[in-house]
Amino acid sequence: MDVPPEEREQKLWLAERAGEVLASVPIRPGDTVFDFGCGAGAYALPAAEMVGAEGAVHAMDCDLSRMDPVADAAHSSLHAVHGDGTTHIPLEAASCDVGLLYDVLQKLDDRRGAMEEMRRVIRPGGVLSVYPMHLDPQQVRAEVEACGFRFRDDYAGLVMHFVRE
Ligand SMILES: C[S@@+](CC[C@H](N)C(=O)[O-])C[C@H]1O[C@@H](n2cnc3c(N)ncnc32)[C@H](O)[C@@H]1O
């Protein structure tokens, strides 16, 4: 794949391929997905299409002003969650098939806390998908692995997929 060299361009390049990125996770019809720091829903919106009527996408952000496209989406599978700004995820343990941490870890004071919360809500055998923008990917990989996930593969060398053990 012809990945652009600059990180800023890579983010746009990835967002243009959101469906392909999510298919590589994979996200399937009927899945329950949690998107931590969803922003305007670049990934949550296509994920809602992919899980369909039988699935659910819980898209969380602590900044309501960024979430308008998610809150306004007339999609019955998409649920906007107003985060409290901590790493707490208001979902039951093992309730998700897939968790997304895309371009958000660099914003968090407690990265480990977020990864541990993701481990709590993702079922054993489920997938955590991470796009570690502005951070050293190898460092992030080691941190995720230390929280009980096994590295599986990546998309274009940019987005890492881990299996929840
Ligand atoms: C750079 S944006 C990325 C948005 C989206 N994931 C994407 O890749 O397009 C990071 C988002 O994380 C949100 N965020 C930061 N800290 C958060 C927290 N503790 N809980 C929930 N959202 C948070 C910010 O408000 C922002 O919308």
Q: For the chain, which residues make up each domain, given as ranges?
A: 29-84+92-164
Closest by CA position to 89, among listed 56, 129, 61: 61
Q: Which residues line ligand 1 (CB under 6 A)?
A: 37-39, 42, 60-63, 66, 83, 85, 102-104, 107-108
CATH of 29-84+92-164, one of 3.40.50.1820, 3.40.50.150, 3.40.50.1220, 2.30.31.20: 3.40.50.150
**Average pLDDT of the residues in 75-94:** 96
**Average pLDDT of the residues in 50-71:** 95
Q: Which uninterrupted H or E stretch holds 148?
A: none
Instruction: State residue 42's pLDDT score.
Output: 97
Residue 88 confidence (pLDDT) above 90: yes
Q: What is the pLDDT of residues 99-151, one digit of tens each?
A: 999 999 999 999 999 999 999 999 999 999 999 999 999 999 999 999 999 99
- How far apart CA 54 and CA 51 sit, in angstroms, is 7
Instruction: State residue 74's pLDDT score.
Output: 82
- Rounded percentage of the chain residues whose pLDDT exceeds 70: 100
pLDDT band at 71 (very low <50, low <70, confident <90, very high): confident
Which position has the higher pLDDT, 71 or 119?
A: 119
Order the strands of the 56-61 sheet from edge to edge: 78-82, 56-61, 32-36, 96-102, 122-131, 159-164, 149-155
Instruction: State residue 1's pLDDT score.
Output: 84
Residue 75 confidence (pLDDT) above 90: no
> For a substitution probing ligand 1, which of 13, 82, 84, 104 has the most ligand atoms within 8 Å of its CB?
104
> For a substitution probing ligand 1, which of 61, 86, 133 has the most ligand atoms within 8 Å of its CB?
61
Nearest CA to ligand 1 atom 9: 42
